[in-house]
Structure 1
């Protein structure tokens, strides 16, 4: 028991700028018949659950297929006046569930869940990620993305409702500043 408490205390600073909840990760439904090729390209972050690695503005992600079948992911944000890109790799671990991708931004870290819950490929997408911590609590991320920097209120409301229907708490969902990009 002491080890568990000690471990949790060590992990709390790592998740301080994240959204974490008690218990294991939920299992939301993902986009049926997901087509990766239609999903590729640029997506702009409209709203998100807090993430320590995303503190800037003008946040966007670009997805491109590599020759080896992996996906090149380049996330860009403007932070403290500087454009800061970071490159990673996404994979589809199970071709039977192509909407459940894994993404990593370091050779030293395992792939994290990147599940496309919904997309129409041309306007918006809803993405979810969750990592269990010893089945005691979980760290989760959610993003509402758009093919343009701004989406209609109705589109954002629909995306928020989808997250709620999948039992994902949107209390801390916040808008990303896409002005002046």
Structure 2
């Protein structure tokens, strides 16, 4: 049985950030104001993921008429702009900074936890999926309202993630040079 688990884990290990045990439980932004959060965010740093390769990565969040949130992500890869559309929902109105995001009708919502944001320059987001509390894979993003943030701001965001028990060993900057605004 353990050999089967190992075979299933191999693709995750090479493309995601994988850890043994359950997910950490970081604190999220109190008194989160979703309407203020909406709009364009640029990816400054991230833990690696298979679906976010390329440069000039950004996400734009907007309300839909049905109350869900449209998530449009774009990236430049191999000289082509690639766009993906997803849906975000507030899963518990008591904690609106804990959202769920899905980019397919066939997949469940993944956690999208806003750990901190000032709404005007910085957002720190975390997502983690646990598999039977045996292992988990996680994502973390440092986002900015501009393509570049001061070094001190990025360092603050990294320290916040580390203090919440999130391993940043594989964290890497996103290339935002030479990007065109749409």
Give the shorter-chain TM-score range.
over 0.9
Alignment of 1:72-111 (within 5 A): 72-111=70-109
CA distance in 1, matches of 2:34, 2:26: 19
Q: Deviations over 1:58-94 (max 9, x none)?
A: 0000000011110000000000000000000000011
- Aligned residue runs from structure 1 range 1-181, under 5 A: 2=1, 4-181=2-179
Q: Deviations over 1:120-142 (max 9, x none)?
A: 00010000000001211000000
Distance 2:52 2:142 in 1: 14
1:39-69, Cα deviation, whole Å (9 max, x unpaired): 0000000000011101100000000001111
Structure 2's unaligned 5+ residue stretches are none
Query: Any runs of at least 4 consecutive aligned residues in structure 1 with deviations exceeding 4 A, and if so which?
Result: none
TM-score (structure 1 length as normaliser): 0.97
* TM-score, normalised relative to structure 2: 0.96
Greater alpha carbon shift after TM alignment, 8-17 vs 129-138: 8-17
* Structure 1 residues not aligned, in runs of 5+: none
Q: Distance in 2 between matches of 1:53 and 1:7?
A: 23
Q: Alpha carbon RMSD of aligned pairs, Å?
A: 0.9
Q: State how far apart, in whole Å, the 2-side matches of 1:151 and 1:145 are.
A: 9
SS of the residue corresponding to residue 140 of structure 1 reads strand
